[in-house]
Chains A and B, each alone.
Chain A
Amino acid sequence: MLKSIQERIINYYKKASIHNIISVSFTIVAVLGMIVVGGALYLRFSNLTEEMVAKNNQAILDQVNLNLDSYLRKMMKISDTMYYRGIKKKDLSSENINKEMDILYEANKDFLISISLFSEHGDIIASYPVQQLKENIDPRENEWFQDALEKSENLHFSTPHVQNLFYDPNYKYTWVVSLSRAVEITEDGKAKRGVLLVDMSFSGIEEICKNVDLGQNAYVYLMDGNGEIIYHPRQQLIYTNLIEETNNKNSKLEDGNYLENFQGNKRMINIKTVGYTGWKIVSVSPIEDILSGASDFRAFAIFIMLFAIFTLISINMYVSSRIANPIMELEKAVKEFENGVDNLNISETGSQEVQHLAKAIKLMINQMNILMDNIVKEQEEKRKSELNALQSQINPHFLYNTLDSIVWMIENENYNGAITMVTSLARFFRISISKGRNIITVKDELEHARNYLTIQSIRYKNKFDYEIEAQEEALDLQCIKLIVQPLIENAIYHGMEYMYGDGNILVKAYVEEENLYIDIIDNGLGMPQEVAEELLVKKGKNSSRKGSGIGLKNVHERIQLYFGKEYGLKIFSEPDEGTIIRIHMPANKYIDNKGE
């Protein structure tokens, strides 16, 4: 599975375009980077928040502890003052301590419910505010009384309970925390044991714990060393088992910071022990609350991350297209070049390297094109000169036969004929040479043809007639040298030689729509049109053995080499009817310049 995914990825990378590789890779790296950085930041932030909350809770607990401690000390001080300044100094059989109690109570009545002194047997000796003990109540049954006498050296703080000692005309029942201690009472000079009870208003403790601001759902509760709850913001709910608290478990813990799982919620617990009483202040902060800030942060971070990813992908796409597009264009151009497209448009955009590359390729292609052109030209030149050279060769048979004919005429004293022949031959050669030019006027070319025809008609004893017609405007046009003569030669050899009747050869030069045409028309044997068309295409020499050795094809090629593929020869023929060979050339005015 993993391997196939890996293979797929590798395959994708092998096949992917440079643009995709860049944008996908960049994006993956960027997204991974964002996630790693974002995640790390978030973790760090939430840890920091937790630490901060823990520290903050600790500080608040310290403050609560301080307040509670001072509150409890105040109570103890009241008890001490009562004992050492009042009870100890007086013989209660003759004196009373009402005044001292009064003063102390009035000074601290905000958080005091009552101060009372009991004898060892539970009888009330003094109390302030002066109250009547309930009939059916025995103080000795109460825990605070027993604790005081059992451990007489200590002061004892009770857990909250309802004050039930005194008769209240309004049937009021108050929750108090009792501070009790064993005291020594002097009655009639005798020392007796007694119990001093200071009932603190529960609301005093409540005030200290209630006004603690830990956060929305966080709270502080107070318990004694055994885990008995003294204060809890939802005390009654715990008392009536509607909710639970982890007080019993936490009472065994040392002071410090803990994490606990309670009813599926993670909570942070801070525990602080209050001096002397062994009470424990516990702060409870749901982790969810602590991290609510962090979750805001997380949402924000995710948003920022998404935004950054979005921006990055956009930028990546832009940058990669900026990098890749010129390369791809270049590649496209090269592909086109491979396919042989001529007019390549290579744009020089993109980065400096790509521009350089494009320039180099452009230069290279140009160079190549120049070289190619040169080669083609050279080849053409070569071919031209080859053909020209071939053209220049005069069939020795023709020369021999002509000279032989002249000799014959001289021997037969036909001097006029001989003169005509020699003159024609001389002109024939003069035009053949034409000072080495390859292009001559139509006029010269036709003159050349005429001389040839003159010689041949004498040689063939006027076996055929000939005629040369030319439009006036055609005469001054350009013509490739020695193209008409070979065609006439063909016409004579293939058309006239085997003819029984009178042969006729017509040479016609005319201009039509900027084109120069020279038709060589004979009424010889002719041939089927298919055969005629093949003559120009067939490979190898199609010239007759008897001819000047320069065939139709040569003429055709030469014209094409000089003027282009659209020009050349066309042959129209019909058996027993004759043949028309049409030379087609552009109608260019002849300009006399040396050489070409």
Chain B
Amino acid sequence: MVIRKRTIFIFLFIILISSSLILLPKASKGKVKVYKVSVIVRGKSSEVWRIVKNGMEQAASDLNVNVSFITLIEDNSVEEQKELIKREIMNGTDGILISPADYSSLSKLIEDLRKEIPIVLFESNIETKENFTYISCDNYELGRKLANEVIKNGNTRSKIIILRSGFNISSEKEKYEGFIDEISLSQNTYEFIDLPKDDAEIYKSISEILKNQDTKVLVAFEPNILEIAGKAKKDYFSEAGLYGTGSTSLIISLMEEKIINAIAMQNEFNLGYLGMKAMVSEIENEKIKESKITSTTINIYNMYSEENQRMLFPIIR
């Protein structure tokens, strides 16, 4: 009897203690882990990445992430990216969100380092058989849309000059492919022109092209080159059509001035936001929801439509 009583007593006491252990920490929980995420883009510190960065920052504040946004000294520098990836891992980052500057030459490094740290790719991809999380719009589709815009603007038998750069970057390459495939369906002809590295040199060679009266349409898939081309076109009062991708203020403004005829852009805010979200999911080993980034073409007539102005000028706080 006494033993039974004692067992009941001890049993109750254990329940009491364990329940207090279970209940009390639950009540006082709420400390959220803050992740450190390094974002390595493939370009210089410029307005090009503005909206993407906005999206990432919004996601970072929603998901309690400490973001360090790292740009390169030189656009699309593979070596620099390699160094930066290693440096950030050394600095103890929790994950790397990277827009690779090269399709093939970064593959091995990224594949190897991914074993140590979560890595998510955004905007451009690498050549790999591994299952990487890759956030981007359909760049091929974006290229096609731009080609369509060129054709819609009355270019049926025009000579199109494609200012080529960064051809070994997956997103760029896909855009070219989409563009060419679509434009090939028309009577238009196209030609690739490779550009030098230096901005002034680029300006010079674009000016040369514009002087050629045969050239009806110029296409630039790098915002930087589009800006230079726009300036050149403005300076030379060229009649050639100018198309490209990018959403810097200068490009928008040049579009308003009708220097740039149309741009194709992906929803960069969403690219940044969903990229960061995928990064956090990767860090937390959660399943990443399939998310589609939309792309669209914008010209002077639709740029202030409700949808497009929201995409071009994100409201950030």
Contacts and interface: CB of A to CB of B under 8 A. Distances in A.
Nearest to B253: A171
Contacts of B310: 236, 239-240
A206 interface: yes
B23 interface: yes
B256 to A, nearest CB: 6
B16 A173 contact: no
B236 interface: no
Contacts of B12: 309-310, 313-314
Contact of B27 (A242, A296, A309): A296
A240 B317 contact: no
Interface stretch (A67-75, A156-164, A582-590): A156-164
Contacts of B300: 136
A172 interface: yes
A303 B13 CA distance: 12
B27 A306 contact: no
Interface string B294-310: 00000010001000011
A299 B8 contact: no
B16 A136 contact: no
Contacts of A299: 23-24, 26-27
Contact of A313 (B8, B23, B54, B269): B8
A240 B292 CA distance: 12
Interface residues of B, number: 41
A175 B304 CA distance: 12
Dominant secondary structure of chain B at its interface with chain A = helix
Interface residues of A, number: 40
B3 interface: no
Contacts of B315: 160, 175, 202, 235-236, 239
Interface string A282-312: 0000000000000110011011001101100
A164 B12 CA distance: 73
Nearest to A135: B257
Contacts, number: 95
B104 interface: no
A251 B68 CA distance: 40
Contacts of A300: 23, 27
Contacts of B257: 135-136
Nearest to A292: B30
B273 interface: yes
Contact of A136 (B9, B256, B269, B314): B256
Interface in B67-95: none
Given A239-B311, A239-B314, A295-B27, 18 more contacts: A134-B256, A162-B309, A164-B304, A170-B249, A171-B249, A172-B249, A173-B252, A173-B313, A236-B314, A239-B315, A242-B273, A303-B24, A307-B16, A313-B8, A313-B12, A314-B9, A317-B8, A321-B5
Interface of B: 5, 8-9, 12-13, 15-16, 19-20, 23-24, 26-28, 54-55, 58, 62, 249-250, 252-253, 256-258, 267, 269-270, 273-274, 300, 304, 309-317
Interface of A: 134-137, 160-162, 164, 168, 170-173, 175, 202, 206, 210, 233-237, 239-242, 295-296, 299-300, 302-303, 306-307, 309-310, 313-314, 317, 321
5 contacts: A134-B256, A242-B270, A242-B273, A310-B16, A317-B8
